[in-house]
Amino acid sequence: MSRLVVKNLSKVFSIGFLARRNVEAVKNISFEVKEKEIISLVGESGSGKSTTAKMLLRLIHPTSGKIVFEGKDIWNDIKTNQELKEFRRSLHAVFQDPFASFNPFYPVERTMWQAFRLMDKEYSKNEALEFIKDSLVKVGLDPKDILGKYPHQISGGQKQRIMIARCWLLKPKFIIADEPTSMIDASSRGGIIKLLLKLREEQGTSIMFITHDLGLAYYVSDRILVMKEGRIVEDGNPDDVVLNPQHEYTKILVGSIPKLYRKLEDI
């Protein structure tokens, strides 16, 4: 069963002041994501990956096309605040820059307290605190080392783990992970990826990785979509895409990998 269906999705930006011109960032793309499926959207900077992610998250409106999540068109069928809250809880994001996800003037757990605004059920402060502590433990953090700390007092890897702990609280059906490991140290990257895969296994979450790293996509994905200049130029299982690429651009990406990554169990 498809959890997300994207049909003929396009986004055109109008830029310039005196001499305005149109730029097609995303050009008539279509794909589906099944329950528990992990797909990677791979391409260089400027290929349209992040614009696609923002449309899926309802952050920018598409110029044309349709996005259907759990059977609902996210732009036409979601009309009430309650429906929007349900959508925000069910389709969640882990962004590229963990440092930008936190307000420097508030303790880091504030982002987790805010997650309770998206929940239907109300919890007492003590109940909510226990849920927060449990979710921190789930992602390998000791609550005593995190609660009460400010963003400058914890590492980038810890910040990214907190954002994944927020996902444990919300139990989303779909996560868009936009370059979730690109701004943290190498020693933390394997752990972050494993946490996202654990969400898939324990909660049935579908995951879309937005990445320029074809080697990483090869080992974590059930399917890879290669994007270039706003179009999806290749779509297939990892072995077909990486070991037997058909499109010339995919061949260039494969050739740029110095060596294929070790499997995650070895990281």
Query: Rounded to the nearest 5 degrees, what angle is found at the Cα of 140, between the Cα atoms of 208 and 260?
Result: 45
Strand, coil or helix: 252: helix
Number of domains in the chain: 1
Find out whether 175 and 94 touch, Cβ atoms under 8 Å: yes
pLDDT at 264: 44
pLDDT digits 0-9 by tens, 15-52: 877 767 889 999 999 999 999 999 999 999 889 999 99
pLDDT at 263: 45
Is residue 254's pLDDT more than 60? yes
Q: How confident is the model at residue 13 (pLDDT cuts 50, 70, 90)?
A: very high
pLDDT digits 0-9 by tens, 40-97: 999 998 899 999 999 999 999 999 999 999 999 999 999 899 899 899 989 988 877 6
Is residue 183's pLDDT more than 70? no
Tell me the CATH number at 150: 3.40.50.300
Alpha-helical regions (H) of 143-213:
143-146, 156-170, 186-203
pLDDT digits 0-9 by tens, 124-182: 889 889 989 988 888 888 999 999 999 889 887 888 888 888 888 888 899 998 876 66
What b-and-e string marks burial along 60-96, b requiring 16 or more CB atoms within 10 Å of the CB? eebeebebbbbeeebeeebeeeeeeebbbbbbbbbbb
Is residue 185's pLDDT more than 80? no
Cα distance between residue 120 and residue 34, in whole Å = 25
Q: How confident is the model at residue 115 (pLDDT cuts 50, 70, 90)?
A: confident
Q: Which amino acid is at 200?
A: R
Find out whether 206 and 36 touch, Cβ atoms under 8 Å: yes
In which domain, by residue range, is 99 found? Answer: 2-266
